[in-house]
């Protein structure tokens, strides 16, 4: 069945470091891809999305490109801030409408 795999955390970085969180997926057809972020004690918020191959989603300095050839959707940010500390979830929405999440990657940014 459809699935999402993302790199294990926790990821600990210093402020202004470069961030990459890897995400790969398995799906039939052409899913839409998403990154969600969860701050402590809150629900998930959409960070960015891409709906077709080679689309780049971006928001708040974060970017991810839909790569169909490598079935990947890696999240990147050039310079992280302490306020970016959260859990990040990669997800796909398949053609049946089901949203499937990866296991989440905890990011901790130190000043």
Partner 1 sequence: DAGVIQSPRHEVTEMGQEVTLRCKPISGHNSLFWYRQTMMRGLELLIYFNNNVPIDDSGMPEDRFSAKMPNASFSTLKIQPSEPRDSAVYFCASSTWTSPLHFGNGTRLTVT
Q: What is the rounded CA–CA span in Å between residue 102 and residue 7? A: 9
Q: How far is the CB of 13 from partner 1 (least distance, A)?
A: 22
Buried b (16+ CB within 10 A) or exposed e, 90-104: bbbbbeeeeebebeb
Q: Which residues bind partner 1 (CB under 8 A)?
A: 34, 36, 42-46, 49, 89, 93, 96-104
- Residue 20 vs 103, nearer CB to partner 1: 103
Instruction: Please identify, using beta-carbon distances, which residue of 49 and 74 lies nearer to partner 1.
Output: 49
Instruction: State in angstroms the smallest separation of the CB of 12 from partner 1.
Output: 19
Cross-strand pairs, 102: none
Shortest spacing between CB 33 and partner 1, in angstroms: 11
Q: Where are the alpha helices (DSSP H) in the chain?
A: none
Phi, psi dihedral angles at 82 (to 5 degrees): -55, -35
Comparison of 2 and 17: residue with beta carbon closer to partner 1: 2
Q: Give CA–CA dist 74/93, Å, rounded.
A: 16
Shortest Å, Cβ 111 to partner 1: 27
CB nearer to partner 1: give 20 or 45.
45
């Amino acid at each position: 069945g459809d699935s999402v795999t993302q790199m294990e955390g926790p990821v600990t970085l210093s402020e202004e470091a470069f961030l990459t969180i890897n995400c790969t997926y398995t799906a039939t057809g052409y899913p839409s891809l998403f990154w969600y972020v969860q701050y402590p004690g809150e629900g998930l918020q959409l960070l960015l999305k891409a709906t077709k191959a080679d689309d780049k989603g971006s928001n708040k300095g974060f970017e991810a490109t839909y790569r169909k050839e490598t079935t990947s959707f890696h999240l990147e940010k050039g310079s992280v801030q302490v306020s970016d500390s959260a859990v990040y979830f990669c997800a796909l929405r398949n053609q049946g409408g089901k949203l499937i999440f990866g296991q989440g990657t905890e990011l901790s940014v130190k000043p």
